[in-house]
């Protein structure tokens, strides 16, 4: 998929509240993301309408934002598995991927991808209606991903 289509998915799904920057407009956040991409501070990768916006924090750790243009859960899960494997296979120093979400239901889906619930940050996300919600941390290490990939190959 070309860059314009990837950026279109990100823009369509971008929400200042989910990005924890409600004081900024969607266009301001998107402009900052474009600057991060152009400066190679972050990069988007895509598979079947699922975009991982990858922000390396160190050589070993990266935070992700997920943007999905697919309504099919099975396709989203398969795509997220592929993207996870792609990152670990192509960034040799990468040891950890993680993300944070205020959406508790998302944890069920991400666990099917092979990522793990790692904890709750209580009352840390301010919603549009003025409530404070918990956020949920999920992640996967290289060794966890390799173990799961090896087990999946044994089953096939």
- How would CATH label the architecture of 3-155? 3-Layer(aba) Sandwich (3.40)
Instruction: Specify the pTM.
Output: 0.84
Q: Considering only residues 153 and 35, tell me which one the structure prediction assigns the higher pLDDT.
A: 35
pLDDT digits (tens, 9 = 90+) for 77-88: 999 999 999 999
- φ, ψ of residue 44 to 5 degrees: the values are -100, 140
d(CA 63, CA 127): 21
End-to-end CA distance of the chain: give it in Å, rounded.
29
**pLDDT above 50: residue 156:** no
Domain spans, the chain:
3-155
pLDDT digits (tens, 9 = 90+) for 97-144: 999 988 888 888 889 999 999 999 998 887 778 888 899 999 999 999
**pLDDT above 80: residue 19:** no
pLDDT interval class at 152 (50, 70, 90): low
Q: What is the pLDDT of residue 154?
A: 53
């Amino acid at each position: 998929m070309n860059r314009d289509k990837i950026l279109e998915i990100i823009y369509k799904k971008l929400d200042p509240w989910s990005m924890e920057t409600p004081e900024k407009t969607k266009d301001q956040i998107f402009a900052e993301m474009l600057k991060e991409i152009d400066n190679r501070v972050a990069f988007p990768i895509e598979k079947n309408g699922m975009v991982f916006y990858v922000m390396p924090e160190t050589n070993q750790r990266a935070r992700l934002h997920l943007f999905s243009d697919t309504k099919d859960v099975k396709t989203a899960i398969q795509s997220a598995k592929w993207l996870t494997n792609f990152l670990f296979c192509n960034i040799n120093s990468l040891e950890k991927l993680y993300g944070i979400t205020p959406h508790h239901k998302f944890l069920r889906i991400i666990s099917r991808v092979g990522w793990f619930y790692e904890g709750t940050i209580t009352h840390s996300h301010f919603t549009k209606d003025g409530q404070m919600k918990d956020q949920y941390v999920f992640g996967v290490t290289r060794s966890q991903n390799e173990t799961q990939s090896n087990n999946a190959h044994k089953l096939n």
